[in-house]
Amino acid sequence: MEIYFTKLHGNGNDFILINELQGTVIPDDMKPVFARLYCDRRYGIGADGVLFLSGSATSLFKMRLFQPDESEAEMCGNGIRCLGRYIYDANLAKDFCTVETPAGEITMEMKGTGEGGFSAVVSMPTPRFDRADIPAEGEGEYKESIADYEVYAVSVGVPHAVVFVDEIAHIPLDEVAPIIRRHHSFPEGANVNFVEIAGENELRIRTFERGIEGETLSCGTGATASAAVAHHLAEQGMAAMAPIGTTVEVHTPGGPLTIYLDEETKMEGPAVSVFTGVITF
């Protein structure tokens, strides 16, 4: 048996993509285990998740994402750009496509950027500030463990916690983030973003991702959530910060993303195809 795959990344957030447009390659009940085995960076291919591209009854394509802990994510900003890169390179669609995800239909504008480059503008789920605990003030062990932090909750198809700090470089991410990620106010868990205001319309972030259970080089939904919260606070006069408008440059450890917060919420960034391969049994 042979399984063909493509390895891609969006600002260092990397994925294995399996094309199932012609039929199921990995049975649905095996997809979680497949992700756990092949995302392993020592014994597998190595990735932050496995993307499955298939047909859709409602959109041009469908995307499912399984993570190393065997969970399925609702949406992934870097992942969907990688899916777009594969679609673009394979001539399955040019310029524009729609993708069904568990978080709803996503539209994507795609373009080559010269010398083999690629960029996509992705319509993101509208940020929801519908949580009673914004800011999500902790109690008990939670408050004692993160006493110096104020946590804001927002959903962009995926639940996120956003924490503003003076300097992200000095945050003990692996110690603090898991406490927030598993706090009872996030019944499905949350990705945790530590955010530094870098200047006018400019943020720096580090993200601890659920499902990966560690820091990733970039998180597209995290960048969107962080920009949305920063803009919301600036509009409300709730935080002393540089002006954060409707176009925000977000610097992740793996590279920049541009977030647009106009009538529609959009994310723009690159995606790179790294290599193709075959798993042989």
Quickly name the fold that domain 140-263 has: Diaminopimelate Epimerase; Chain A, domain 1 (3.10.310)
Task: Give per-residue pLDDT as tens, 121-172.
Answer: 999 999 988 654 445 444 433 343 455 678 888 999 999 999 999 999 989 9
Which whole-number Å values give the CA distances from 242 to 196, 204, 245, in the listed order?
A: 11, 13, 10
Q: Which positions ≥6 away from 30 have C-beta within 8 Å?
A: none
Catalytic residue, from 39, 76, 82, 97: name it. Answer: 76
Pairing of strands 247-252, 255-261: antiparallel
Catalytic residue, from 39, 82, 97, 219: name it. Answer: 219
Task: Give per-residue pLDDT as tens, 31-59.
Answer: 999 999 999 999 999 999 999 999 999 99
pLDDT for residue 73: 96
82 given a catalytic annotation: no
- Domain(s) labelled CATH 3.10.310.10 in the chain stretch across 2-123+268-280, 140-263
Q: Is the pLDDT of residue 65 over 80?
A: yes
Span 2-123+268-280: which CATH code? 3.10.310.10
Task: Give per-residue pLDDT as tens, 209-250.
Answer: 999 999 999 999 999 999 999 998 888 776 556 789 999 999
Percent of the chain with pLDDT over 70: 91
User: Which residues is 18 bridged to in the sheet?
Assistant: 52
Task: Give per-residue pLDDT as tens, 248-269.
Answer: 999 999 999 999 999 999 999 9
What whole-number distance in Å separates Cα of residue 44 and Cα of residue 37?
6
What whole-number distance in Å separates Cα of residue 54 and Cα of residue 62?
5
Percent of the chain with pLDDT over 90: 79
39 given a catalytic annotation: no
Mean pLDDT along residues 62-89: 98
pLDDT for residue 240: 57
pLDDT for residue 144: 39
What whole-number distance in Å separates Cα of residue 91 and Cα of residue 10?
19
